């Protein structure tokens, strides 16, 4: 993947994580799948605000959802998180490499 495409691909998830509420949602989902009611109870925020942030996280590719009856469950998109981890690891390795010069 070229640098320009890589920047574009990772910009939205990184922007999404820059918000304290969305980062809190991602950290909460790290423990497993959750329905909206569990998320807004944990964060002590109104349901409509949590839904708004979940939409942004879904658009960024960081979370996925599935329907079970009338409930929608959210979970981390582990593949996308892995891609971000690899990018950040590459950035750190490059920085360490340049510091040794």
- Is the pLDDT reported for residue 101 higher than 70? no
Structure tokens at 64: 């996925």
Q: Determine what percent of the chain is predicted with pLDDT higher than 90.
A: 74
| pTM listed for this prediction | 0.83
- Is the pLDDT reported for residue 20 higher than 90? yes
- Indicate the SS3 state at residue 27: helix
Please state the rounded mean pLDDT for residues 22-43.
96
- Is the pLDDT reported for residue 4 higher than 70? no
Please report, to the nearest 10 degrees, the dihedral formed by the alpha carbons of residues 51, 54, 58, 60 taken in order.
Answer: 130
The distance from CA 38 to its chain's CA centroid, rounded to whole angstroms, is: 17
Q: How many angstroms separate the CA atoms of 13 and 25, rounded? A: 13
pLDDT in tens, 38-65: 999 999 999 999 999 999 999 999 999 9
Burial of 65 (0-12, 13-18, 19+ CB in 10 A): middle
- Domains: count for the chain: 1
Round the CA-based radius of gyration of the chain to a whole number and report it.
Answer: 16
- Is the pLDDT reported for residue 8 higher than 70? no
Q: Which domain holds residue 27?
A: 3-99
Q: The CATH number of the domain where 49 resides is what?
A: 1.10.10.10
């Amino acid at each position: 993947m070229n640098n320009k495409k890589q920047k574009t691909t990772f910009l939205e998830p990184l922007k999404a994580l820059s918000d304290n509420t969305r980062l809190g949602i991602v950290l909460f989902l790290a423990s497993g799948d959750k329905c909206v009611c569990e998320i807004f109870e944990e964060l002590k925020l109104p349901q409509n605000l949590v839904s708004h942030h979940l939409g942004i996280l879904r658009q960024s590719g960081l979370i996925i959802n599935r329907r079970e009856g009338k409930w929608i469950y959210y979970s981390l998109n582990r593949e996308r998180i892995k891609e971000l981890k690899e990018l950040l690891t590459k950035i750190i390795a490059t920085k360490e490499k340049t510091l040794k010069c």
